[in-house]
Amino acid sequence: MSLHLPDWPAAERYLGTITDYERMAKLGTGLKKVDLSRTLGLMAYLDHPERAVPAAHITGTKGKGSTAMLLATLTGSCGKVTGLYTSPHLEELQERIAIDGVPVPYPDLARLIDRQFPYLEEQRNAGSDAAPTFFEIMTACAADWFRERHVDLAVYEVGLGGRLDSTNVLSPEVTAITSVSLEHTHILGDTIEAIAREKGGIIKPGVPLVSGCEFGSKASLVLESIVKDVGASIWRLGREIAVRYRPAADGQGIRLDVETPLRTWNDLELNLLGRFQSRNVAVALAMLDHLEARDQVSIDTDAVRVALGRAHVPGRLENLGGEPPLILDGAHTPDSTRQLSRELDELFEGRRRVAVIAIARDKNIQEVIAGLLRGTAAAVLTTASSPRSATPEELFEGAGTLLPETVVLQADPGRAVEVARDLAGSDGVVVVSGSFYLVGEVRKRWRSFRMSS
């Protein structure tokens, strides 16, 4: 029986006392010593659970979460019990740690945190720089639970960057970098090359890397240099990996052909929306090839096809239905919001589009909102339940002349969606984006509304 944190409410209260950079007004404010020492110390205290399970490690500016979910789905379809660690969560904290799609039960999560409690308190008493952060604690919980449940393989999504992210204590079987664009520049650097070097920090000697970065790009050249320096290998999208995309005939889903050095997949059918998912699927399939080559999985091609057809990635161009349709997408960088607008132009051509927008104030609001407002007839500016989220008034000021003729400021996200649906009309479409926190809140409220109606 637990001596310190007897149940989830107690554990949740305790987590509330832990440094959590995700909940700070500006990401990275007052950063402690930035290295892997706190994570390594915590893992050592737990007798290194991160070494007990073969792992796949994924980072990237865009697509890392989708790719992690897809890879976990594919390895599961091939008969492997698969752990998945992702962040942030959309609705519930437990979503971050799952086995075969089932989130860790809160009583188990409380027990995992309680197991760390003596060490956490010892380090906290030793000084703030020694005490593990919220994300470091969650990373250790994931590794510990995967070891406890004897999973066959664990898929880890990097939280931020790569080189100094707490997940980088892994010794993975395969790594992937899905994309590199400007993000968190005050932490990762203000050039593509600098950010690529940070993300390239997950590359390990002798471990294959799959790159979704455009072949020949600045980011790709940096990654190729790191691979050469550390003695790894690389498969690159547009070079060793080819993908051909086409929308489904009925507009519902996508069709792909993917070719890797080891296998060709023709006529893959996915019930996902968005051209961008083609890159994520290709990277996941290439990682699956490497896992098979390293004797971690035996690929069942029929099962993989079925799994891709059923794959679901919450909060990524997700259509919740209704009239008008409610589309959720966590795009929150200038590149990803521009890409989202292009996808919406193709999917909902000719329909009146209304955007519900929240953005973290440490983002480049003008550039992010420019992508989200492209092609919109009206906008509802709101806020998410995060200290980092800008107010509607701050968004209004930041957007300036980019705003459409019809703009509504509504701080409550639920009410913001209602206003947007009225503005769109039954023949239009409502798009919620700019913040994963906003997407999660709207998704949770919408699901509760549909279940009660």
pLDDT, average across residues 347-355: 94
For 301, counting Cβ atoms within 10 Å of its Cβ (0-12 exposed, 13-18 middle, 19+ buried), the class is exposed
Q: Quick one: what percent of the chain has pLDDT higher than 70?
A: 94
70 pLDDT higher than 80? yes
pLDDT, average across residues 90-119: 97
pTM score, whole prediction:
0.93
Spatial CA neighbour of 369 closest among 383, 357, 384, 378: 357
pLDDT band of residue 276 (cuts 50, 70, 90) is: confident
How is residue 243 written in tokens?
Answer: 């993908």
Spatial CA neighbour of 414 closest among 443, 376, 371, 450: 443
pLDDT, average across residues 221-231: 98
453 pLDDT higher than 50? no
- Examine residue 54 and say whether the peptide bond preceding it is cis (omega within 30 degrees of 0): no
CB 408, CB 423: distance < 8 Å: yes
2 pLDDT higher than 60? no
How is residue 437 written in tokens?
Answer: 């926190």
- Classify 83 as helix, strand or coil: strand
Spatial CA neighbour of 81 closest among 154, 144, 151: 151
160 pLDDT higher than 80? yes
pLDDT, average across residues 82-104: 96
Read off the pLDDT of residues 352-393 as tens digits, 9 standing for 90 and up. Answer: 999 999 999 888 899 999 999 999 999 999 999 888 899 999
Round the average pLDDT of the chain to a whole number and report it: 92
Q: Which residues of 256-275 are buried (b: 16+ CB within 10 A; e: fewer)?
A: bbbbbeeeebeebebebbbb
16 pLDDT higher than 60? yes
pLDDT band of residue 451 (cuts 50, 70, 90) is: very low
For 199, counting Cβ atoms within 10 Å of its Cβ (0-12 exposed, 13-18 middle, 19+ buried), the class is buried
